[in-house]
């Protein structure tokens, strides 16, 4: 895939984030490790509460300091800076300039009392040395780049005057106006209709080509992952449980959770014989009552005593590049007919 | 007050093929007020001229993007919203003109499940009181049998017996949706409108709830209208699919033919813009230009004309009629006449 020989642009090592709550301290993200390479799209998938959003907000340091703690041992290395421990001044220079983020609901991240143009200008004013005219020209150019029709007019409009899809495109324009190295997109299309989702996904793919931005895409939609990602990280109850190239993950999932998750989506044009979907029994364990062993054990078909006693590590089994957090991973035989080695 | 209860038998239901729900030329316009005298200055054309029938025991899927009128349609079918014009009948009995008292007995037969069960369950009532309220109002069972009936209901939707003394907030999203289903089933309905019942759920939970609904549908011989924006779910769950755009029906098609035989350019675009769950078969998504037009001043002619890749002059001035094919498919498109 696009995972070239280049050095990773972002290295996440041992990222652990805890929250203080009324019921005690809870670990939402537990020892997460991964790399992001320039120009690649990497997906973080998982169900609600698995820690995918907290992971992205920890990288950006957008969590409220009042009740969240990023463990001091966590490392988020970006161009020689550890974002996990950097001071707020450094973070402000990185955020929006070199690492940008877009969120699920653009209406809550756009300021309703300022025009689109004002908000684009704000980012450019802070992070560039462009003059006022240059900033305006650049803002309009960005709006054109994200395919907003009639950008000179839209520049003067307020967020409520735009449709949902257009607002998300404006968010992308703001996020990309300083040409960041990494774009973190947290469920960017979840609130959009499919035809608008297709527009936004196509736009993101095109911009990635043009600007060589690495994209960290957080989503629960495996269809979107299949469509746009190069590599995938699967999370469950705060842990990374599997990491693989998108093709390997969909064809030969190693973790029983990944496999079950893939099976539980209704398949386009294919009906099961009795009209029922394969399901994963039970629900995700509460972060307050995590079991001692594997966190997926209560829902796993293949559970054995070892899974109850010891939590597996995230390590490669049959395939060197494919770590999985399971004592008894699936699909360990190399398929010789296709020559696939994972 | 109690309706003549048609006992849902436990045996598997035969499909008679008889029309159970029939909607004719349903229209809903919401007035928009404004100006100094707060007069009606315009209308939102939410649903325009929609007709369909659902055969006994069948499920009609209604798909479309936000604002296409699918939820409004669902609410009109069970008269939670009064249609501006048009008729709805259940087993030949027209319900659109019924007065309050007669409507009451019909209402028991038709129930609705909402997307977010939390906002439709009273947070101050325990599960037991929630269910009891409706059951005793409609006199489904008498007080002596109440507890055992509630236990049975809770077991039917796959929840633990101790759940009945809990409050809605104590449950997870999937569990709440099970409660919403139990609440709808409590009245032994024959027809259920499910409005995005699984859209707020994670995929693993979505599969559990869809399976539950499938089982119940077969067990009680339910006729259903299933509203969703997710084509894959509709294809999986429904017998027929009705595709809506800006308040109008674009295409009706049996769900097993949807992928191969759909004709309307909008249906095709919807299918093409859905990502495929297979990274090895990645293809560029169909990207439609522009957005859905405003329902305030819908364009004359076909509402899809502005985004349609096959648009012709006629499309912009005249709405194509829904033309039926021999196989039960129906298409409203000038390019497919």
Split into its structural domains, chain A has a count of 2
CATH of the domain at A134: 3.40.50.300
Q: Are B55 and B20 in contact (CB under 8 A)?
A: yes
In a domain? residue A163? yes
Q: Which residue of A has its CA nearest to B234?
A: A266
User: Which of A236, A263, A280 is a domain's end point?
Assistant: A236
Cα angle value A193/A257/B207 (rounded, 5°): 50
Please tell me the distance in Å from A256's CA to the nearest CA on chain B.
13
CB contact under 8 A, B236 and A278: no
In a domain? residue A33? yes
CB contact under 8 A, A227 and B276: yes
pLDDT tens across B57-94, in order? 999 999 998 889 999 999 999 999 999 999 999 999 99
Q: Are B292 and B246 in contact (CB under 8 A)?
A: yes
A94 and A182 housed in the same domain: yes
In a domain? residue A337? no
% of chain A exceeding 70 in pLDDT: 94
pLDDT in tens, chain B (337 residues): 344 444 444 445 667 778 999 999 999 999 998 888 889 988 999 999 999 999 999 999 999 988 899 999 999 999 999 999 999 999 999 999 899 899 988 999 999 998 877 788 888 999 999 999 889 988 899 899 999 999 999 998 988 888 899 999 888 888 899 999 999 999 999 999 999 999 888 888 899 999 999 999 999 999 999 999 999 999 999 999 999 999 999 999 999 999 999 999 999 999 999 988 888 888 889 988 877 888 888 888 999 999 999 999 999 999 999 999 888 899 999 999 8
A280 and A228 housed in the same domain: no
Sheet of strand B191-195: strand arrangement = B110-113, B191-195, B223-228, B59-63, B240-245, B248-254, B330-331, B323-324
Interface test with A, best of B15, B199, B277, B284 (most A CBs within 10 A): B277
Interface of B with A in 110-169 (CB under 8 A): none
Lowest mean pLDDT among A21-25, A333-337, B207-211, B233-237: A333-337
Q: Which residue of A has its CA nearest to B200?
A: A48
A248 and A265 housed in the same domain: yes
In a domain? residue A329? no
pLDDT tens across B248-264, in order? 999 999 999 999 999 99
Strand partners of residue B223: B191
With a CB cutoff of 8 Å and minimum separation 6, the contacts of A113 are: A158
In a domain? residue A184? yes
In a domain? residue A96? yes
Tokens for B291? 């957005």
Q: Which residue of B has its CA nearest to A201?
A: B285
CB contact under 8 A, A195 and B275: no
A59 and A162 housed in the same domain: yes
In a domain? residue A5? no
For residue B296, the model assigns a pLDDT of 86
Q: Which residue of A has its CA nearest to B239?
A: A275
A187 and A248 housed in the same domain: no
Neighbours of A12 (CB within 10 A): 25
Q: Is B294 on the interface with A (CB under 8 A)?
A: no
A102 and A144 housed in the same domain: yes
A222 and A244 housed in the same domain: no
Q: Is B279 on the interface with A (CB under 8 A)?
A: yes
Q: Is B231 on the interface with A (CB under 8 A)?
A: yes
CB contact under 8 A, A276 and B211: yes
In a domain? residue A44? yes
CB contact under 8 A, A194 and B231: yes
> Could you tell me the domains of chain B?
19-109+193-292 (3.40.50.300), 122-188 (no CATH)
ipTM score for this prediction:
0.84
H helices, E strands: number in chain B:
10, 12
Domain span including residue A262: 239-324
A225 and A247 housed in the same domain: no
A16 and A164 housed in the same domain: yes
Q: Is B235 on the interface with A (CB under 8 A)?
A: yes
Tokens for A243? 């990491």
With a CB cutoff of 8 Å and minimum separation 6, the contacts of A153 are: none
CB contact under 8 A, A198 and B202: no
pLDDT tens across A142-173, in order? 998 888 888 999 999 999 988 888 898 899 99
Q: Which residue of B has its CA nearest to A271?
A: B236
A204 and A247 housed in the same domain: no
Sort out which chain B residues have CB atoms less than 8 A from A229's CB and list them.
Answer: 279
Instruction: Taking residues A242-268, report their average pLDDT.
Output: 92
Interface of B with A in 31-90 (CB under 8 A): 65-66
A232 and A276 housed in the same domain: no
Interface test with A, best of B67, B158, B202 (most A CBs within 10 A): B202
A246 and A216 housed in the same domain: no
């Amino acid at each position: 895939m696009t995972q070239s020989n280049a050095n990773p642009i972002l290295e996440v090592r041992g990222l652990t984030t805890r929250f203080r709550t009324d019921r005690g301290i809870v670990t939402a993200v537990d020892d997460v490790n991964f790399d992001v390479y320039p120009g690649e799209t990497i997906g973080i998938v998982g169900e609600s509460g698995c820690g995918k959003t907290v992971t992205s907000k920890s990288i950006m340091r957008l969590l409220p300091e009042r009740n969240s703690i990023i463990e001091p041992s966590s490392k988020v290395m970006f161009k020689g800076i550890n974002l996990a421990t950097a001071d707020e001044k450094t973070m402000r220079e990185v955020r929006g300039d070199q690492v940008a983020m877009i969120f699920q609901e653009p209406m809550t991240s756009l300021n309703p009392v300022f025009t689109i143009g004002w908000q684009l200008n704000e980012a450019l004013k802070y992070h560039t040395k462009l003059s006022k005219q240059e900033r305006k020209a650049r803002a309009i150019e960005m709006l054109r780049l994200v395919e907003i029709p009639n950008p000179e007019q839209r520049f003067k409009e307020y967020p409520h005057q735009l449709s949902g899809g257009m607002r998300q495109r404006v968010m992308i324009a703001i996020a990309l106006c300083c040409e960041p190295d990494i774009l973190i997109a947290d469920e960017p299309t979840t609130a959009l209709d499919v035809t608008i989702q297709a527009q936004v996904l196509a736009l993101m793919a095109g911009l990635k080509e043009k600007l060589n931005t690495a994209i960290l895409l957080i989503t629960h939609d495996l269809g979107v992952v299949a469509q746009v990602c190069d590599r995938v990280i699967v999370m469950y109850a705060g842990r990374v449980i599997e990491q693989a190239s998108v093709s390997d993950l969909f064809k030969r999932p190693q973790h029983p959770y990944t496999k079950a998750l893939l099976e539980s989506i209704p398949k386009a044009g294919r009906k099961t014989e009795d009209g029922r979907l394969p399901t994963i029994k039970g629900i995700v364990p509460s972060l307050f009552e995590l079991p001692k062993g594997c966190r997926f054990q209560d829902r796993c078909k293949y559970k054995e005593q070892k899974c109850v006693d010891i939590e597996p590590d995230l390590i490669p089994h049959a395939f060197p590049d494919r770590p999985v957090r399971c004592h008894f991973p699936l699909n360990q035989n190399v398929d010789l007919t296709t020559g696939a080695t994972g | 007050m109690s309706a003549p209860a048609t006992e849902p038998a436990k045996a598997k239901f035969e499909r008679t093929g008889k029309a159970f729900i029939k909607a004719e030329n349903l229209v809903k316009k919401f007035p928009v007020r404004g100006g100094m005298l707060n007069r009606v200055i315009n209308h939102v054309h939410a649903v325009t001229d929609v007709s369909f029938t659902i055969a006994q025991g069948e499920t009609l899927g209604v798909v479309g993007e936000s604002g296409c009128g699918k939820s409004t349609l669902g609410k009109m079918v069970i008269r939670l919203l009064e249609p501006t014009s048009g008729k709805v009948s259940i087993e030949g009995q027209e319900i659109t003109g019924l007065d309050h008292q007669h409507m009451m007995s019909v209402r028991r037969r038709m129930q609705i499940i909402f997307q977010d069960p939390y906002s439709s369950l009273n947070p101050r009532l325990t599960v037991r009181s929630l269910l009891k309220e409706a059951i005793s109002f409609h006199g489904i069972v008498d007080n002596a049998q109440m507890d055992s009936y509630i236990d049975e209901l809770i077991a039917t939707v796959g929840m633990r017996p101790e759940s009945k003394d809990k409050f809605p907030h104590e449950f997870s999203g999937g569990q709440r949706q099970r409660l919403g289903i139990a609440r709808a089933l409590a009245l032994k309905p024959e027809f259920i409108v499910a409005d995005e019942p699984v859209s707020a759920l994670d995929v693993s939970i979505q599969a559990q709830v869809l399976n539950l609904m499938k089982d119940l549908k077969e067990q009680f011989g339910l006729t259903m209208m299933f509203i969703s924006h997710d084509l894959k779910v509709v294809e999986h769950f429904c017998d027929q699919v009705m595709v809506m755009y800006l308040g109008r029906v674009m295409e009706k098609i049996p769900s097993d033919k949807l992928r191969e035989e759909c004709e309307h350019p909008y249906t095709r675009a919807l299918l093409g813009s859905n990502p495929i769950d297979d990274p090895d078969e990645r293809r560029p998504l169909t990207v439609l230009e522009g957005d859905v037009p405003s329902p305030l001043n819908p364009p004359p002619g076909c509402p899809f004309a502005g985004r349609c890749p096959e648009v012709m002059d006629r499309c912009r001035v005249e709405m194509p009629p829904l033309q039926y094919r021999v196989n039960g498919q129906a298409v409203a498109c000038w390019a497919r006449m």
